[in-house]
Chain A
Amino acid sequence: MKAPKQKKQLNKQLKAHYQQHSLSELQLEKLQNLSVNNKPSLIKPLLAVAASSLLALSLYIVNFTGLNYGDISEEIAYNHNSQMQMEVFSESIDGIQSHLNRLGFSLIESAQLAGESWQLVGGRYCSISGKIAAQLKIKNLNTLKTYTFYQAKLPEKFFNIIQDKEIFVDGVSVKMWQENGLLMGLAK
């Protein structure tokens, strides 16, 4: 016996035709498992770790491997304001050097303070960043003002990276530079 033919609109019949076709439960499960088993890419976490490491390294280099001008200038300004008594009074570098014989480096006449306008007054031991240093008193003969001048041995790794720097701390102007492997600091 023939089934009665029922003509319907094309779109309805097409819909019904495609509705008959479905994926099996097994196929659906397999496809859905693709997203479950899809492990997140390692690229992003790795990039995040790399970026953090780079940032940390940069901070380390900036803060711990370079000269900490901020701390040094604070120390120099503090010593300058303390107006400590000189241990030796002499107008010559040699005279001060002979007294401060445990410095481990030779004091120099700085090219930046050369000329007849500067006069050495005396010196004493001090420390900068925990390292032994010389604290010298010098007078500007033009202005008759007294300055505190520091010399300390500069670690070899900083020989070529130090730049002239001037920082104002507690009302004191601290100028720092490198000369002949020594860190120079002038407080006024």
Chain B
Amino acid sequence: MFNFFRPSKKVTFSKLLLNELYRYALSLCQQSDQAYDLVQSSCEKVLKQKIEQDSLKAYMMTCIRNEYFDQFRHFKLSLVVDEKLQNEQSVNEEVVLQHLDSIMIDKQHVAIILEQLSIDERELLYLWAVEGFSMQEIATQTNTARGTLLSRISRLKKRLQNDFPHLVKEVS
């Protein structure tokens, strides 16, 4: 009962946190203005809630994600359950990540390729490369089955090799 009357700690947004959130938002929407709006919206939501500073980033990332998919739901195609993909649960994470690690690319081609990727693929790459999340952490953050993520990576790698053979190179 006394916790209710105890004043909640004031939430503060560091520049580092705001920039990380902005980049995450950018990985979803690819537009700076929209990314800023998403960050602002997540800040406003956090201020209305009682969120501990420790879990602030994870909570705000979820806010940004939910907000984005709510606002731009009409851009998403309806979900089709591919049984073949669902059965690819046994894909080995280590092998799949090695595939990703083996891709070499020029700095100036990153933006070109990101533009061609789907939102899910961009988000996956961002969380893996920039945030350094494990597949399990990405699965939790995006509420997606780990097997689905691994399948997505496999398909992504194939796509990169097929669609952008001149931009990417695989090293063994």
Residues of A within 8 A of B (CB): 5-19, 21-23, 27-28, 30-32, 34-35, 38, 40, 44, 47-48
* Cα of A18 to Cα of B111 in the assembled complex, Å: 9
Residues of chain B within 8 A of A27, CB atoms compared: 36
Q: Which of B98-128 contact A (CB under 8 A)?
A: 100-101, 103-107, 110-111, 114, 125-126, 128
Q: How far is the CA of A66 from the CA of B107 in the complex (A)?
A: 84
Interface contacts beyond A11-B101, A22-B19, A48-B5: sample of 13 additional A-B pairs, CB < 8 Å, sorted by A: A7-B104, A8-B105, A10-B103, A10-B129, A13-B106, A13-B107, A13-B110, A22-B22, A31-B13, A32-B12, A32-B15, A35-B11, A47-B5
Size range of the chain B interface in the assembly: 35 or more
Interface flag for B27 (CB, 8 Å): yes
Say whether B58 faces chain A, with CB atoms less than 8 Å apart. no
26 A-B contact pairs sorted by A residue (CB < 8 Å) = A7-B105, A7-B169, A8-B104, A8-B105, A10-B105, A11-B100, A14-B110, A14-B125, A17-B110, A22-B19, A23-B36, A23-B39, A28-B18, A31-B13, A32-B15, A34-B40, A34-B43, A35-B11, A35-B12, A35-B47, A38-B11, A40-B7, A44-B4, A44-B5, A44-B7, A47-B4
Q: Which residues of B contact A17 (CB under 8 A)?
A: 107, 110-111, 114
9 A-B pairs closest in CB distance: A14-B129, A11-B129, A7-B104, A10-B103, A17-B110, A18-B23, A38-B47, A13-B110, A5-B106
Residues in B whose Cβ lies below 8 Å from that of A12: 129
Given A7-B169, A10-B101, A31-B40, answer yes or no on A23-B19 (Cβ-Cβ < 8 Å): yes
